[in-house]
Amino acid sequence: MINTAGVLCHFTPAMRYMQFTHGEQNQKWSTPIVLPVKRSPLIERCTTVEDSRSARAALGVELARSAGEIARRWFDTSALAVESKQDGSPVTQADREIEQFIRAEVAQHYPDDSFLGEEFGETTGTSKYRWIVDPIDGTKSFVHGVPLYANLIALEEDGTIVAGVINLPSAEVLMHAERGKGCWKNGKQVHVSDKTELDGAYVMATWLEDWHPDSIVDLQSAGAVIRTWGDAYGYMMVASGQAEAIVDYTTQAYDLAPMPVIIEEAGGMFTSLDGVREINGGNGIASNGAVHDSVLKIVNQG
């Protein structure tokens, strides 16, 4: 498309989607109309190997970027309506709109793949791939104007997470990893810290309400610094060596789906609080590996 200045314009999938679903900025959200989108050059290149894992991984990165564009459009606007879900957690138009956008894109590119999303549940396909999406992780941050919310996309192949993306659009950080190809933050490869002691280690929590008070005391007695820079942002900090561990006592698969590949490709360790390498345990811990057992031992008491 050529704009009025005669410059070649490229509409990303999210821009085209928003153009047809919103019209003017801040217009009240309504049921999205999903129109076919033009593939970007990145996707065109990738789909020459249509069925490969890497093509899907690249699509995941592009969709996370596009999800971020939708989120930023809604972030910190008074037009955002917040509702409570049955579990009491907040949900917004942005959560639903982003998930519907990603679902439509995945269905268009890979109609045989399965899909699990926080807001619209499970769709079962026939291929060996499943996409797992949390459209906005950290919705409480999102609705309070805190830029530490994220768009999470993960790709599972035969039951194993093989690619993942954490995109923090308002913080302008995107982290992605594919099995065997390293963990990358804004284009730079990252690694977990090499700290081996709890003394001085940073341990993240999304919230402390479900922590046993003795665990907090014992971590602090061991010299650890506890901070609530949580949700996906905390996992990103661990992967990039800015913190040593994050502990989540209450999670669903979509809260954690990108973390195994992100953390492991950065050289760290991800497990449930039972020490099992899985995202379905109802909780999770990620660390630099060196402090994993000592943090697990302390947080599992009580």
CA distance 193 to 291: 10
Pairing mode, if any, of strands 183-185 and 188-189? Answer: antiparallel
Q: Look at the alpha carbons of 40, 43, 47, 49 in this order and tell me if their dihedral is positive or negative.
A: positive
Q: Contacts for 117-123 with beta carbons within 8 Å, 24 or more apart?
A: 117/254, 118/252, 118/254, 119/91, 119/95, 120/96
CA distance 272 to 279: 7
Choose the contact partner of 250 out of ligand IPD, Ca ion, none; CB within 5 to 8 A by kind.
Answer: ligand IPD
Residue from the set 69, 97, 244, 255 that interacts with Ca ion by CB under 5 A: 255
CB of 116 to Ca ion, least distance (A): 12
CB of 197 to Ca ion, least distance (A): 31
The terminus-to-terminus CA distance of the chain in angstroms comes to 61
Contact call for residues 237 and 153 (beta carbons, < 8 A): no
**Cα within 13 Å of Cα(53), Cβ side:** 16
**Of residues 136 and 155, the one with the C-beta less far from Ca ion:** 136
CA distance 155 to 165: 9
Site for Ca ion in 17-76 (CB under 5 A): none
Which of the ranges 16-24, 26-34, 38-46, 133-141 carries the binding residues for ligand IPD, by CB under 6 A? 133-141
- Considering all CA atoms of the chain, what is the largest pairwise distance in Å, rounded to the nearest integer? 66
> In the stretch 89-118, what mask flags binding to Ca ion with x, by CB under 5 A?
-----------------------------x
Residue from the set 137, 156, 178, 244 that interacts with ligand IPD by CB under 6 A: 137
Which of the ranges 133-141, 166-174, 178-186, 205-213 carries the binding residues for Ca ion, by CB under 5 A? 133-141
**Of residues 32 and 284, the one with the C-beta less far from ligand IPD:** 284
Residue at token pair 């699509």: 59
Which of the ranges 189-197, 218-226, 236-244, 246-254 carries the binding residues for ligand IPD, by CB under 6 A? 246-254
DSSP 8-state assignment for residue 188 = E
Q: How many residues bind Ca ion (CB under 5 A)?
A: 5
CB of 239 to Ca ion, least distance (A): 17
Residue from the set 60, 68, 169, 230 that interacts with ligand IPD by CB under 6 A: 230
Site for ligand IPD in 253-282 (CB under 6 A): 255
Q: How many residues bind ligand IPD (CB under 6 A)?
A: 12
Is residue 139 close enough to count as binding ligand IPD by CB under 6 A? yes
Contact call for residues 13 and 105 (beta carbons, < 8 A): yes
Query: What is the contact surface with Ca ion in residues (CB under 5 A)?
Result: 118, 134, 136-137, 255
Query: What is the contact surface with ligand IPD in residues (CB under 6 A)?
Result: 89, 134, 137-139, 206, 230-231, 248, 250-251, 255
